[in-house]
Amino acid sequence: MVTESSIISAGFRADYPNGAEHPETRQAATQWHNLGTEGILSRSASLARRNFSKWEGDHELWSELAIFTDNAVVRPSLLRKRNDLAWLAFRSLKEELP
């Protein structure tokens, strides 16, 4: 769900996540989970809500990963919990976000 072709083939508009509503994304996630998908990499809706739209270059700067833990071959485990939001700070995107 990061390339235009994968977004369109999943049934969403090419400018996803713009225009996508929670019910339709939940429905797609439920279908992927039921198919046994381990996870989905997608454009960040959180960044889109902040008017970010440069979906190019290194996806690690602007994507989100949803892991379907029940389907994961290697079960994820919680190593620690953070009590702050420091992990959300993207130094390379700070200048581009309003």
Task: Report pLDDT for 91.
Answer: 55
Closest CA relative to residue 13, chosen from 50, 65, 53? 53
Distance CA 19, CA 38 (A): 25
- Yes or no: say if 16 and 7 are a contact pair by the CB < 8 Å rule: yes
pLDDT (tens place) for every residue of the chain, 98 residues total: 999 999 999 999 999 999 999 999 999 999 999 999 999 999 999 999 999 999 999 998 899 999 999 999 998 888 888 888 776 665 555 555 55
The continuous run of DSSP H or E covering 9 comes out as helix 4-9
Closest CA relative to residue 95, chosen from 30, 40, 50, 44? 50
- pTM for this entry: 0.76
Task: Report pLDDT for 78.
Answer: 84
Neighbour count for residue 12 (Cβ, 10 Å):
21
